[in-house]
Chains A and B, each alone.
Chain A
Amino acid sequence: MWYLCVFFHRLLDYRKPEVESLAQLFGAIEDPRNDDLPFQLQWKLPPNYHTDSPFHFVNLPSEQLAHDIAARSILVKGMYELWGEGSSYEELKESVLSYPDERKLPYLDSDSTFKITVDGFGKVISLEEQKELIQGLSYIPFKGRVKLKNPDHNFWLIEVDNYGGNNGLPPIVQKRIFFGREVGGADRKLIPTYQLKSRNYLGPTAMDAEMAFLMANQALATSGKLVYDPFVGTGSVLVAAAHFGAMTMGADIDIRVVRDGRGPDCNVWSNFKQYGLPMPVGLLRADNNLPPWRSTLKEVFDAIICDPPYGVRAGGRKSGGRKLLRGAVEPYTVPDDKRTDHIPSTAPYSLVECVHDLLDLAAKMLVMGGRLVFFYPVLREDDFAEDHFPEHPCFKLISLSEQILSSRYSRVLLTMVKTGPYTEEIAEVARIRHIEFKENHVKWLEDGNLHSAVFSPADGHLTEAGDPKLIKDPKPKYRGKYV
């Protein structure tokens, strides 16, 4: 059945992937065909709406599922059984009247309580007007009692006005009125509850609560699953996974962060305690470049979620359009007063190598069907060239969601599913590459663009592309990508 899915008008690229992930989590696929990945729902738009609009229709097998998805989501404002729509109130009335009675009457009976909410998008509707609009719905035989708090049935009248046309782009929505019965919506209270402002132990790169929850949803975090973050820092990503019931495990190279924090009541553990969440089952100090796992251990994590350490200096090339950031950071030397547990070295951890290690780890340690969810930085010098993202024979990329950070940088949340087993051959290729990285560190630093098969053969075109503007259509941008 088709449901009207109304999103919050933010993080535009993250919205459909979240719903698709949750559909999978709650079992929308009755007969999982592994080779049919990526699993996709059917979507459609109201007439002449742009895909960046908050108003979409999604086809879901049951109302229960629509409810579960919306309730667990972060970006679904509401999921509705649509009773009618139109570009005028006359059209709406006709449409509602022709909606089958057997779908409507069960929700209108005299034993039930209900509430009608009027909402505007692209316009403000005064209380006075709202009252009138509700009275205008008298053609619907409501028999129940009005109850404003926790009614049995929530009805919504949503009036949309032309919107989003003021930046030289076509409007994303056009005048339209929807009337429907709510079947579920996001619990946005989670976000203030978990906001970083109130987080006990904070680091400079802690992930904000909303994004951490989106990452956990992409990873299908849930009770009984084990989720690993190899760059755990202050634990903000795992906190979100733990909120959804997952067991968590994390590692970080910085022992001061992972072991000490700022004292006995201000550390990674206390960030879980603060919300009454179960503690991580393990925290350790380890270098992701030198994994500490026993060689016979495979397929143990259900998901790996992380924000890898991309301390990146932009690569300088101008041709080739939107380049991936593949420069290395300046060598990092541990200051003298911090030299406690290790002999520091000046080896840089390049983006390419970091991603190589991450994919190799994930290929080995994720269960089949397990998910790798991580951020990947891109330089947005222009929007024309096609992006190239890391690839791996064990993985299928199922979604990529961009968030613009500044005029120059974006970060893209990649969600990959493990679709192939970690074979001897793959392990051997990875082992050789690992050694190459070690040997080539200095050289790599010098020319800054060692070709890595992690980026797939297609990557080569980045250096030799002609005018990329001729190849790709510009992707219209909306404010929502910035928020």
Chain B
Amino acid sequence: MRLLTHNMLSSNIKGVVNGFPLRIEAEKVAEKSVEMNREFLKKMFQKVHWKAFVDASRAMGYTELPEKADSSMLNSDEFLNRFHHALLELHLEEGALVCPETGRRFPVNKGIPNMLLPQEEVLLSIIIC
């Protein structure tokens, strides 16, 4: 799971009002370089919740992001490189995402966050294809 995904997710447990951001418990973090797409980064910058993003990057062991950011910084290559790295090159391979309200853990295995908890209030809407 990359931090882009983390920044989009929240706890969807019934009754939870403030399920965002999910706290990262990192057991295994990987770095994989990917090609930079500036246009995509600029678009995503508008959507990212910055504070949650900075905190998440720290939980993953990356501390190079500025506390605050605004869109004028997108003109700086140095900033873009860091943003790109934190958003798309850091992967949470094993660990968990913890609901800030209930403390329940959404496991992350093999890089896949499991956003369906084993709990009664979740009605599984499975169907046969």
Q: Give the interface of A toward B (CB within 8 A).
A: 204-205, 223-226, 247, 249, 251, 253-255, 258-260, 278-279, 281-297, 299-300, 309-311, 329-330, 332, 334, 341-345, 347-349, 353-354, 438
| Interchain Cβ contacts under 8 Å between A and B, 5 examples | A292-B115, A294-B10, A300-B47, A341-B116, A348-B127
Query: Do residues B118 and A283 form an inter-chain contact, with CB atoms below 8 A?
Result: no
Residue from the list B5, B9, B20, B122 in contact with A281, Cβ < 8 A: B5
Chain A CB within 8 A of B70 CB: no
8 Å CB contact of B112 from A283, A300, A348: A283
User: Counting CB contacts under 8 A, is B2 at the interface?
Assistant: yes
Cross-chain contact B110 with A285 (CB below 8 angstroms):
no
Q: Pick the contact of A300: B1, B8, B110 (CB < 8 A).
A: B8
Q: Is the interface of A mostly helix, strand, loop or mixed?
A: loop
Which residue of B4, B7, B112, B128 is within 8 Å of A258 (Cβ)? B112
Known interface pairs A259-B112, A282-B2; A290-B126 also in contact (CB < 8 Å) = no
A311: contacting residue among B37, B114, B129, CB under 8 A? B129
| CB contacts between A and B, total, < 8 Å | 143
Is B113 located at the chain interface by the 8 A CB criterion?
A: yes
B113-A287 in contact (CB<8A): no
The 3 A-B residue pairs whose C-beta atoms are closest, nearest first, are A282-B5, A292-B115, A311-B128
Within 8 A of A (CB), among B1-28: 1-2, 4-5, 7-10, 12, 19-21
Contact with A along B60-83 (1 / 0, CB 8 A): 000000000000000000000000
Check B8–A294 contact: CB distance below 8 A.
yes
Residues of B close to A226: CB separation below 8 A:
40, 43-44
Q: How many angstroms from the CA of A347 to the CA of B116 in the assembled complex? A: 15
CB-based contact A344/B112 at 8 Å: no
**Contacts A281-B2, A341-B114 given: A291-B126 contact, CB under 8 Å?**
no
Given A282-B1, A295-B20, A296-B49: A347 touches B124 (CB 8 Å cut-off): yes
B interface residues, tally (CB under 8 Å)? 42
A251 and B127 CA atoms in complex are apart in Å by 15
Q: Give the residue of B12, B43, B47, B118 whose beta carbon is less than 8 angstroms from that of A224.
A: B43
What CA separation (Å) do A354 and B127 show in the bound complex?
10
Measured CB to CB, the closest approach of chain A to B4, in angstroms, equals: 6
* Nearest chain B residue, comparing its CB with the CB of A286: B115
Q: Is the CB of A223 within 8 A of B37?
A: yes
Residues of A within 8 A of B37 (CB): 223-224, 247
Contact B47 A278 (CB under 8 A): no
Given A292-B10, A294-B9, decide whether A345 and B124 contact each other with a Cβ distance below 8 A. Answer: yes
- When distances are taken between beta carbons in the complex, the residues of chain B under 8 Å from A223 are 37, 39
The interface residues of chain B lying within 8 Å CB-to-CB of A341 are: 114, 116, 118
> What's the Cα separation between A431 and B39 when bound, in Å?
34
Contact A290 B128 (CB under 8 A): no
Residue contact B125 to A349, C-beta cutoff 8 Å:
yes
Question: Which residues from chain A contact B47 at a C-beta distance below 8 Å?
Answer: 297, 299-300
B116 interface neighbour in A225, A299, A342, Cβ under 8 Å = A342
In the complex, what distance in Å separates the CA atom of A281 from the CA atom of B111? Answer: 11
- A334 and B47 CA atoms in complex are apart in Å by 37
Chain B residues in 8 Å Cβ range of A284 = 1, 5, 9, 112-115
With both chains docked as a complex, state the minimum distance between the C-beta of B66 and any C-beta of chain A, in angstroms: 21
Query: A355 to B126, alpha carbons, bound, how many Å?
Result: 14
1/0 contact trace for B85-129 toward A, CB 8 Å? 000100000000000000000000111111111111011111111
A253 to B124, CA, bound (A): 8
CA A299 to CA B44, docked complex, whole Å: 11
Interface pair A285/B114, CB less than 8 Å apart: yes
State in angstroms the CA–CA spacing of A311 and B127 once bound together: 6
A294 touches B39 (CB 8 A): no
Complex partner residue of A247 from B1, B40, B120, CB under 8 angstroms: B40
A293:B5 contact, CB within 8 angstroms: no
Q: How far does the alpha carbon of A251 sit from the alpha carbon of B114 in the complex, in Å?
A: 10
Q: Give every chain B residue within 8 A of A311 (Cβ-Cβ).
A: 127-129
Interface pair A343/B40, CB less than 8 Å apart: no
User: Please, how many angstroms separate the alpha-carbon atoms of A343 and B127 in the complex?
Assistant: 15
CB neighbours (8 Å) of A354 from chain B are 125, 127
The reply to whether B127 and A295 contact each other, CB–CB distance below 8 Å, is no
Bound-state CA distance A396–B7 (Å) is: 30
Report A-chain residues with C-beta under 8 Å of the C-beta of B1: 282, 284
Q: Enumerate chain A residues within 8 angstroms of B43, measured Cβ to Cβ.
A: 224, 226
Contact yes or no, B12 A291, CB < 8 A: yes
A189 to chain B, nearest CB (A): 24
A52 vs chain B, min Cβ distance (A): 31
| Given A226-B40, A292-B9, A295-B10, also A205-B129 (CB < 8 A) | yes
Contacts A293-B10, A332-B127 hold; do A287 and B122 have CB atoms under 8 A apart?
Answer: yes
Residues of A within 8 A of B124 (CB): 253, 287, 334, 342-345, 347
Q: CA separation between A299 and B1, bound complex, in Å?
A: 21
Shortest distance between the CB of A260 and any CB in chain B (Å): 7
**Residues of the B chain whose Cβ atoms lie less than 8 Å from the Cβ of A349:** 125-127
A281→B88 contact, CB < 8 A? yes
Q: Which residues of B contact A259 (CB under 8 A)?
A: 109-110, 112, 114
Task: Please give, as numbers and ranges, the residues of chain B lying within 8 Å of A283 by CB-CB distance.
Answer: 111-112
**A330, B117: Cα distance in complex, Å:** 23
Q: Provide the bound-state CA to CA distance between A281 and B21, in Å.
A: 19
Of all chain A residues, the one with the shortest Cβ separation from B18 is A295
